[in-house]
Structure 1
Protein backbone atom coordinates (compact mmCIF):
# COMPACT_ATOMS: atom_id res chain seq x y z
CA UNK A 1 0.00 0.00 0.00
CA UNK A 2 1.36 3.46 -0.85
CA UNK A 3 2.83 5.34 2.07
CA UNK A 4 0.42 8.27 1.57
CA UNK A 5 -2.56 5.93 1.77
CA UNK A 6 -1.35 4.63 5.13
CA UNK A 7 -0.76 8.11 6.45
CA UNK A 8 -4.25 9.27 5.43
CA UNK A 9 -5.78 6.87 7.97
CA UNK A 10 -3.65 8.02 10.87
CA UNK A 11 -5.03 10.19 13.62
CA UNK A 12 -4.34 13.90 13.08
CA UNK A 13 -1.07 14.50 14.87
CA UNK A 14 -1.96 17.29 17.27
CA UNK A 15 -4.95 17.88 19.50
CA UNK A 16 -5.03 21.49 18.35
CA UNK A 17 -6.38 23.45 15.38
CA UNK A 18 -4.52 23.03 12.09
CA UNK A 19 -2.45 26.01 11.08
CA UNK A 20 -4.69 26.63 8.07
CA UNK A 21 -7.90 26.93 10.12
CA UNK A 22 -7.63 30.25 11.96
CA UNK A 23 -9.33 32.84 9.78
CA UNK A 24 -10.21 30.25 7.15
CA UNK A 25 -13.19 27.96 6.50
CA UNK A 26 -13.11 24.72 8.46
CA UNK A 27 -12.33 21.61 6.42
CA UNK A 28 -15.35 19.43 7.23
CA UNK A 29 -13.65 16.15 6.35
CA UNK A 30 -10.71 17.00 8.59
CA UNK A 31 -13.06 18.08 11.38
CA UNK A 32 -14.93 14.77 11.17
CA UNK A 33 -11.68 12.80 11.32
CA UNK A 34 -10.63 14.73 14.41
CA UNK A 35 -14.04 14.19 16.01
CA UNK A 36 -13.75 10.46 15.40
CA UNK A 37 -10.39 10.53 17.16
CA UNK A 38 -11.93 12.30 20.14
CA UNK A 39 -10.00 15.56 19.86
CA UNK A 40 -11.33 18.21 22.23
CA UNK A 41 -10.51 21.00 19.80
CA UNK A 42 -12.76 19.38 17.21
CA UNK A 43 -15.62 19.07 19.72
CA UNK A 44 -15.28 22.75 20.63
CA UNK A 45 -15.19 23.72 16.96
CA UNK A 46 -18.35 21.72 16.24
CA UNK A 47 -20.20 23.65 18.95
CA UNK A 48 -18.80 27.01 17.83
CA UNK A 49 -19.83 26.38 14.23
CA UNK A 50 -23.40 25.22 14.72
CA UNK A 51 -24.69 26.16 18.17
CA UNK A 52 -26.34 29.46 17.26
CA UNK A 53 -28.09 28.09 14.18
CA UNK A 54 -29.35 25.03 16.04
CA UNK A 55 -30.66 27.18 18.91
CA UNK A 56 -32.67 29.32 16.49
CA UNK A 57 -33.98 26.23 14.72
CA UNK A 58 -34.94 24.56 18.01
CA UNK A 59 -36.69 27.67 19.32
CA UNK A 60 -38.58 28.03 16.05
CA UNK A 61 -40.16 24.63 16.78
CA UNK A 62 -40.40 24.46 20.58
CA UNK A 63 -40.90 28.17 21.36
CA UNK A 64 -39.15 27.48 24.65
CA UNK A 65 -35.76 29.01 25.38
CA UNK A 66 -34.57 26.65 28.10
CA UNK A 67 -35.76 23.52 26.34
CA UNK A 68 -34.09 24.69 23.13
CA UNK A 69 -30.79 24.97 24.95
CA UNK A 70 -31.16 21.55 26.54
CA UNK A 71 -32.13 19.93 23.25
CA UNK A 72 -29.17 21.47 21.42
CA UNK A 73 -26.81 20.45 24.21
CA UNK A 74 -28.10 16.89 23.93
CA UNK A 75 -27.72 16.98 20.15
CA UNK A 76 -24.04 17.89 20.42
CA UNK A 77 -23.49 15.17 23.03
CA UNK A 78 -25.21 12.59 20.81
CA UNK A 79 -23.44 13.75 17.65
CA UNK A 80 -20.01 13.50 19.24
CA UNK A 81 -20.82 10.13 20.82
CA UNK A 82 -22.17 8.71 17.56
CA UNK A 83 -19.83 10.44 15.11
CA UNK A 84 -18.57 7.04 13.96
CA UNK A 85 -22.04 6.37 12.52
CA UNK A 86 -21.84 9.48 10.32
CA UNK A 87 -21.38 8.14 6.79
CA UNK A 88 -20.99 11.40 4.92
CA UNK A 89 -24.16 10.93 2.85
CA UNK A 90 -25.11 14.51 3.75
CA UNK A 91 -23.28 17.49 5.17
CA UNK A 92 -22.49 17.59 8.87
CA UNK A 93 -24.93 20.48 9.25
CA UNK A 94 -27.75 18.54 7.55
CA UNK A 95 -27.11 15.62 9.92
CA UNK A 96 -27.26 17.87 13.00
CA UNK A 97 -30.30 19.71 11.68
CA UNK A 98 -32.30 16.53 11.15
CA UNK A 99 -31.46 15.27 14.63
CA UNK A 100 -32.51 18.62 16.10
CA UNK A 101 -35.83 18.71 14.26
CA UNK A 102 -36.63 15.15 15.36
CA UNK A 103 -35.66 15.88 18.96
CA UNK A 104 -37.84 19.00 19.05
CA UNK A 105 -40.85 17.23 17.59
CA UNK A 106 -40.42 14.33 20.01
CA UNK A 107 -40.26 16.79 22.91
CA UNK A 108 -43.43 18.51 21.75
CA UNK A 109 -45.30 15.21 21.45
CA UNK A 110 -44.08 14.09 24.88
CA UNK A 111 -45.14 17.19 26.77
CA UNK A 112 -48.05 18.77 24.93
CA UNK A 113 -50.67 16.91 26.99
CA UNK A 114 -48.89 17.26 30.30
CA UNK A 115 -47.74 20.77 30.49
CA UNK A 116 -48.58 24.26 29.26
CA UNK A 117 -45.40 26.21 28.78
CA UNK A 118 -44.68 29.93 28.67
CA UNK A 119 -42.65 30.85 25.62
CA UNK A 120 -39.57 33.00 26.05
CA UNK A 121 -37.80 33.82 22.77
CA UNK A 122 -34.03 33.60 22.65
CA UNK A 123 -34.13 36.80 20.62
CA UNK A 124 -37.37 37.30 18.76
CA UNK A 125 -35.96 39.65 16.17
CA UNK A 126 -33.31 37.11 15.13
CA UNK A 127 -36.05 34.83 13.82
CA UNK A 128 -36.56 37.04 10.80
CA UNK A 129 -33.72 37.13 8.27
CA UNK A 130 -32.09 40.53 7.81
CA UNK A 131 -33.27 42.38 4.74
CA UNK A 132 -30.94 43.26 1.90
CA UNK A 133 -30.40 46.87 0.97
CA UNK A 134 -30.43 48.36 4.43
CA UNK A 135 -28.08 51.33 4.48
CA UNK A 136 -26.61 53.70 7.01
CA UNK A 137 -28.86 56.40 5.56
CA UNK A 138 -31.95 54.71 7.01
CA UNK A 139 -33.66 57.13 9.34
CA UNK A 140 -34.44 56.22 12.96
CA UNK A 141 -38.10 56.17 12.02
CA UNK A 142 -37.47 53.70 9.18
CA UNK A 143 -35.36 51.44 11.37
CA UNK A 144 -37.98 51.47 14.13
CA UNK A 145 -40.67 50.67 11.58
CA UNK A 146 -38.60 47.80 10.22
CA UNK A 147 -38.00 46.39 13.70
CA UNK A 148 -41.72 46.55 14.44
CA UNK A 149 -42.45 44.69 11.21
CA UNK A 150 -39.99 41.97 12.21
CA UNK A 151 -41.66 41.63 15.60
CA UNK A 152 -45.12 41.35 14.04
CA UNK A 153 -44.03 38.50 11.78
CA UNK A 154 -42.10 36.75 14.57
CA UNK A 155 -45.13 36.91 16.86
CA UNK A 156 -47.33 35.57 14.07
CA UNK A 157 -44.91 32.70 13.41
CA UNK A 158 -44.96 31.78 17.10
CA UNK A 159 -48.74 31.37 16.93
CA UNK A 160 -48.70 28.98 13.96
CA UNK A 161 -49.73 25.33 14.50
CA UNK A 162 -46.70 23.16 15.23
CA UNK A 163 -46.61 21.25 11.93
CA UNK A 164 -47.14 24.41 9.88
CA UNK A 165 -44.56 26.39 11.86
CA UNK A 166 -41.92 23.66 11.52
CA UNK A 167 -42.21 23.61 7.73
CA UNK A 168 -42.21 27.42 7.59
CA UNK A 169 -39.12 27.70 9.81
CA UNK A 170 -37.18 25.20 7.69
CA UNK A 171 -38.16 27.04 4.50
CA UNK A 172 -37.88 30.68 5.52
CA UNK A 173 -35.10 30.59 8.11
CA UNK A 174 -33.06 27.60 6.96
CA UNK A 175 -33.60 28.11 3.23
CA UNK A 176 -34.44 24.46 2.55
CA UNK A 177 -36.27 23.47 -0.64
CA UNK A 178 -39.67 21.80 -0.41
CA UNK A 179 -38.05 18.48 -1.32
CA UNK A 180 -35.43 18.85 1.41
CA UNK A 181 -38.09 19.72 3.99
CA UNK A 182 -40.11 16.68 2.91
CA UNK A 183 -37.06 14.48 3.52
CA UNK A 184 -36.31 16.01 6.93
CA UNK A 185 -39.92 15.69 8.15
CA UNK A 186 -40.74 12.42 6.38
CA UNK A 187 -43.76 13.85 4.55
CA UNK A 188 -44.76 14.42 0.92
CA UNK A 189 -43.55 17.44 -1.02
CA UNK A 190 -47.15 18.48 -1.66
CA UNK A 191 -47.83 18.46 2.08
CA UNK A 192 -44.86 20.78 2.60
CA UNK A 193 -46.19 23.15 -0.04
CA UNK A 194 -49.65 23.28 1.52
CA UNK A 195 -48.25 23.86 5.03
CA UNK A 196 -46.05 26.74 3.91
CA UNK A 197 -48.91 28.25 1.91
CA UNK A 198 -51.11 28.00 5.00
CA UNK A 199 -48.39 29.57 7.16
CA UNK A 200 -48.14 32.58 4.86
CA UNK A 201 -51.90 32.97 4.82
CA UNK A 202 -52.12 32.86 8.62
CA UNK A 203 -49.23 35.29 9.06
CA UNK A 204 -50.67 37.74 6.54
CA UNK A 205 -54.08 37.68 8.21
CA UNK A 206 -52.67 38.02 11.72
CA UNK A 207 -50.80 41.24 10.88
CA UNK A 208 -53.33 42.63 8.41
CA UNK A 209 -54.78 45.08 10.93
CA UNK A 210 -51.41 46.12 12.35
CA UNK A 211 -50.11 49.63 11.78
CA UNK A 212 -46.88 48.61 10.02
CA UNK A 213 -47.06 49.64 6.34
CA UNK A 214 -48.04 46.82 3.99
CA UNK A 215 -44.90 47.06 1.84
CA UNK A 216 -42.67 46.54 4.89
CA UNK A 217 -44.61 43.46 5.95
CA UNK A 218 -44.65 41.87 2.50
CA UNK A 219 -40.88 42.08 2.26
CA UNK A 220 -40.57 39.81 5.27
CA UNK A 221 -42.73 36.97 3.94
Structure 2
Protein backbone atom coordinates (compact mmCIF):
# COMPACT_ATOMS: atom_id res chain seq x y z
CA UNK A 1 0.00 0.00 0.00
CA UNK A 2 1.37 3.41 -0.98
CA UNK A 3 1.73 6.14 1.60
CA UNK A 4 -1.02 8.24 0.01
CA UNK A 5 -3.58 5.45 0.36
CA UNK A 6 -2.37 4.69 3.88
CA UNK A 7 -2.86 8.34 4.85
CA UNK A 8 -6.39 8.40 3.43
CA UNK A 9 -7.30 5.25 5.33
CA UNK A 10 -5.77 6.62 8.52
CA UNK A 11 -7.75 9.84 8.12
CA UNK A 12 -10.93 7.75 7.80
CA UNK A 13 -10.09 6.03 11.11
CA UNK A 14 -9.17 2.64 9.62
CA UNK A 15 -7.71 0.59 12.50
CA UNK A 16 -5.97 -1.85 10.14
CA UNK A 17 -4.19 1.08 8.44
CA UNK A 18 -2.93 2.28 11.81
CA UNK A 19 -1.58 -1.19 12.61
CA UNK A 20 0.14 -1.20 9.22
CA UNK A 21 1.65 2.22 9.94
CA UNK A 22 3.04 0.97 13.25
CA UNK A 23 4.48 -2.20 11.69
CA UNK A 24 6.01 -0.26 8.81
CA UNK A 25 7.66 2.53 10.82
CA UNK A 26 8.25 1.30 14.39
CA UNK A 27 11.84 0.14 13.85
CA UNK A 28 12.81 3.36 12.09
CA UNK A 29 11.21 5.53 14.78
CA UNK A 30 12.82 3.53 17.58
CA UNK A 31 16.17 3.75 15.84
CA UNK A 32 15.97 7.52 15.52
CA UNK A 33 14.82 7.92 19.12
CA UNK A 34 17.56 5.65 20.45
CA UNK A 35 20.17 7.44 18.38
CA UNK A 36 19.17 10.74 19.95
CA UNK A 37 18.39 9.69 23.53
CA UNK A 38 20.79 6.73 23.83
CA UNK A 39 18.21 5.17 26.15
CA UNK A 40 16.23 2.09 25.05
CA UNK A 41 13.34 2.43 27.52
CA UNK A 42 12.87 6.12 26.82
CA UNK A 43 13.03 5.37 23.09
CA UNK A 44 10.17 2.88 23.48
CA UNK A 45 8.13 5.53 25.29
CA UNK A 46 8.95 8.13 22.64
CA UNK A 47 7.93 5.69 19.91
CA UNK A 48 4.55 5.20 21.60
CA UNK A 49 4.13 8.97 21.95
CA UNK A 50 4.92 9.42 18.25
CA UNK A 51 2.22 6.96 17.21
CA UNK A 52 -0.24 8.47 19.65
CA UNK A 53 0.44 11.93 18.21
CA UNK A 54 0.03 10.58 14.66
CA UNK A 55 -3.29 8.97 15.62
CA UNK A 56 -4.53 12.24 17.09
CA UNK A 57 -3.32 14.54 14.34
CA UNK A 58 -3.52 12.51 11.11
CA UNK A 59 -6.65 14.44 10.20
CA UNK A 60 -4.54 17.61 10.03
CA UNK A 61 -1.86 16.04 7.81
CA UNK A 62 -1.68 18.29 4.74
CA UNK A 63 0.87 16.38 2.73
CA UNK A 64 3.41 19.22 2.65
CA UNK A 65 6.03 16.57 3.44
CA UNK A 66 6.09 12.85 2.82
CA UNK A 67 4.72 10.53 5.50
CA UNK A 68 8.21 9.31 6.53
CA UNK A 69 9.49 12.91 6.78
CA UNK A 70 6.48 13.87 8.89
CA UNK A 71 7.12 10.89 11.19
CA UNK A 72 10.82 11.79 11.44
CA UNK A 73 9.93 15.33 12.45
CA UNK A 74 7.47 14.16 15.09
CA UNK A 75 10.07 11.73 16.43
CA UNK A 76 12.80 14.37 16.61
CA UNK A 77 10.40 16.77 18.35
CA UNK A 78 9.41 14.09 20.88
CA UNK A 79 13.10 13.42 21.57
CA UNK A 80 13.80 17.10 22.05
CA UNK A 81 10.82 17.35 24.43
CA UNK A 82 12.24 14.39 26.35
CA UNK A 83 15.61 16.15 26.57
CA UNK A 84 13.97 19.33 27.86
CA UNK A 85 12.08 17.40 30.55
CA UNK A 86 15.33 15.80 31.74
CA UNK A 87 17.15 19.12 31.66
CA UNK A 88 14.47 20.68 33.87
CA UNK A 89 14.59 17.78 36.34
CA UNK A 90 18.35 17.69 36.60
CA UNK A 91 19.68 21.12 35.75
CA UNK A 92 23.01 20.25 37.30
CA UNK A 93 23.38 17.03 35.33
CA UNK A 94 22.35 17.19 31.66
CA UNK A 95 22.84 13.51 30.86
CA UNK A 96 20.55 10.65 29.96
CA UNK A 97 19.01 8.76 32.86
CA UNK A 98 20.70 5.67 31.44
CA UNK A 99 24.10 5.83 33.10
CA UNK A 100 25.01 2.29 32.18
CA UNK A 101 26.63 1.47 28.89
CA UNK A 102 24.57 -1.67 28.29
CA UNK A 103 23.69 -1.73 24.60
CA UNK A 104 22.05 -5.15 24.74
CA UNK A 105 18.61 -3.68 25.45
CA UNK A 106 18.59 -1.89 22.12
CA UNK A 107 20.50 -4.25 19.88
CA UNK A 108 20.52 -7.96 19.38
CA UNK A 109 23.75 -9.72 20.31
CA UNK A 110 26.12 -9.76 17.40
CA UNK A 111 27.40 -13.03 16.01
CA UNK A 112 31.19 -12.84 15.96
CA UNK A 113 33.68 -15.66 15.37
CA UNK A 114 35.59 -15.34 18.64
CA UNK A 115 34.88 -14.09 22.17
CA UNK A 116 37.82 -11.69 21.82
CA UNK A 117 36.33 -10.10 18.73
CA UNK A 118 32.96 -9.88 20.45
CA UNK A 119 34.57 -8.06 23.38
CA UNK A 120 36.28 -5.62 21.01
CA UNK A 121 32.92 -4.96 19.34
CA UNK A 122 31.21 -4.28 22.68
CA UNK A 123 34.03 -1.99 23.81
CA UNK A 124 33.91 -0.10 20.53
CA UNK A 125 30.14 0.30 20.85
CA UNK A 126 30.53 1.62 24.38
CA UNK A 127 33.16 4.12 23.21
CA UNK A 128 30.95 5.31 20.35
CA UNK A 129 27.98 5.69 22.72
CA UNK A 130 30.13 7.71 25.12
CA UNK A 131 31.37 9.87 22.26
CA UNK A 132 27.80 10.45 21.04
CA UNK A 133 26.78 11.53 24.54
CA UNK A 134 29.49 14.20 24.43
CA UNK A 135 28.10 15.77 21.26
CA UNK A 136 25.78 18.73 21.62
CA UNK A 137 22.15 17.65 21.25
CA UNK A 138 21.59 19.38 17.91
CA UNK A 139 24.76 17.95 16.37
CA UNK A 140 23.96 14.45 17.63
CA UNK A 141 20.45 14.64 16.20
CA UNK A 142 21.73 15.56 12.73
CA UNK A 143 24.51 12.96 12.93
CA UNK A 144 22.09 10.18 13.88
CA UNK A 145 19.64 11.08 11.13
CA UNK A 146 22.39 11.18 8.48
CA UNK A 147 24.83 8.44 9.47
CA UNK A 148 22.59 5.96 11.26
CA UNK A 149 19.29 6.52 9.49
CA UNK A 150 20.67 7.41 6.06
CA UNK A 151 18.46 10.45 5.52
CA UNK A 152 19.42 13.02 2.91
CA UNK A 153 20.34 16.55 3.93
CA UNK A 154 16.97 17.75 2.65
CA UNK A 155 15.09 15.12 4.68
CA UNK A 156 17.06 16.07 7.80
CA UNK A 157 16.26 19.75 7.25
CA UNK A 158 12.57 18.91 6.92
CA UNK A 159 12.60 16.60 9.95
CA UNK A 160 14.40 19.05 12.22
CA UNK A 161 12.96 22.28 10.89
CA UNK A 162 16.36 23.88 10.23
CA UNK A 163 17.92 25.22 7.04
CA UNK A 164 19.97 23.01 4.75
CA UNK A 165 23.17 24.95 5.47
CA UNK A 166 22.62 24.49 9.20
CA UNK A 167 22.24 20.74 8.69
CA UNK A 168 25.56 20.63 6.80
CA UNK A 169 27.30 22.74 9.42
CA UNK A 170 26.03 20.67 12.36
CA UNK A 171 26.98 17.44 10.61
CA UNK A 172 30.47 18.76 9.87
CA UNK A 173 30.97 19.78 13.51
CA UNK A 174 29.56 16.47 14.79
CA UNK A 175 31.90 14.43 12.60
CA UNK A 176 34.89 16.58 13.55
CA UNK A 177 34.08 16.32 17.28
CA UNK A 178 33.57 12.55 17.10
CA UNK A 179 36.90 12.20 15.31
CA UNK A 180 38.59 14.26 18.04
CA UNK A 181 37.04 12.09 20.74
CA UNK A 182 37.57 8.69 19.10
CA UNK A 183 41.01 9.10 17.49
CA UNK A 184 42.95 8.88 20.79
CA UNK A 185 40.98 5.78 21.72
CA UNK A 186 41.79 4.12 18.40
CA UNK A 187 45.49 4.99 18.78
CA UNK A 188 45.42 3.59 22.30
CA UNK A 189 44.12 0.23 21.05
CA UNK A 190 46.85 -0.16 18.42
Indicate the TM-score class for this superposition, using the shorter chain for normalisation: 0.7 to 0.9
Partner residue, 1:185: 160
Q: CA deviation at 1:54?
A: 0.8
Whole-angstrom CA distance in 2 between matches of 1:188 and 1:204: 24
Q: CA deviation at 1:172?
A: 0.8
- How many matched pairs? 182
Return the TM-score normalized by structure 2: 0.77
- Structure 2: unaligned runs, 5 residues or longer: none
Match of 2:11 among 36, 40, 43: 36
Contact 1:65 1:122 (8 Å CA) reproduced: no
CA RMSD in angstroms comes to 3.2
Partner residue, 2:130: 155
Contact 1:65 1:121 (8 Å CA) reproduced: no
Contact 2:101 2:126 (8 Å CA) reproduced: no
* Distance change in 2, residues 1:185/1:28 (3 Å): closer
Match of 1:118 among 88, 97, 111: 97
| 1:176 has 2:155 as partner | no
Partner residue, 1:105: 80
Q: CA deviation at 1:88?
A: 2.6
| 1:194 has 2:169 as partner | yes
Q: CA deviation at 1:169?
A: 0.8
- Which of the pair has more CA radius of gyration? 1
Instruction: Give the structure, 1 or 2, with the largest relative contact order (CA under 8 Å, sep 6 or more).
Output: 2
More helix by share: 2
